[in-house]
Amino acid sequence: MSRPRIGLTLDRPAEGARYELGLAYVEAVEAAGGLPILLPHAAGLATEQLALLDGLVLSGGAFDIPPELYGEARRPACGRLDPERTAAELALLRGALASGLPVLGICGGMQLMAVAAGGTLYQDLPADAGLLGHEQPAPKDAPSHEVEVAPGTRLAALVGAGALAVNSTHHQAVRTLGAGLVASAVGPDGLVEAIERAGPAFALGVQWHPEAALRHEPRHLAIYRGLVAAARRG
């Protein structure tokens, strides 16, 4: 049986002269049974890119989503923006959701899923919510806190309900859920740590990096396996 083709969006450093992606993303897709396909930023080519794919991963990166997309002015605590990447990922996400293509959003990818559905973000957790401890020091892959996975959710079907140890490398987070989304995990401080779309289609977002944390907690690989299984079902 051929491997489902899983698209991975690429990151771009501040100087913008090259693309990059952590090896852990590719290795997790391969370990889950998928074929990684790397996607450059090209909003105008999103339809053609999606036609090549059986599933999509919106990866994280060192940039923030423009607050204008969720109806807010940018405040000083908001970080670096990458409008070209955001436009490309939005085009891919909207096209994938419209066609029922399985989607997994990682960190900033989860945040984009919320914004695309009409949700909002904390531009900066310390400034907006007084929440500290979500940007852990190195090593970035080691779990630094637990989340509570809600029973009866797609995420619970993959990793089990209850406590799950996760890593944490973000200063923004989902503030309000968009239409059709449910929270499938929350942190000890009440912060939404995972979201998913109601219904049969696979559309899951997690605030942590399961591809990195799985070397410490093997259950995280089940998130990528769930995506690949959904991609295989078509």
Give the residue numbers marked as catalytic. Answer: 107, 209, 211
* Pair type for strands 192-197 and 181-186: antiparallel
Sheet holding 5-9, edge to edge: 35-39, 5-9, 55-58, 103-106, 203-206, 192-197, 181-186, 145-149, 162-166
For CA atoms 162, 194, 127, 122, give the dihedral sign: negative
Q: Phi first, then psi: what are they for 17, rounded to 5°? A: -95, -5
List, in sequence order, the alpha helices (H) in 56-82: none
Residues whose CB falls within 8 Å of the CB of residue 71, separated by 6 or more in sequence, listed in order: 120
How many residues appear in the chain? Answer: 234
Q: H or E stretch including 157?
A: helix 154-159
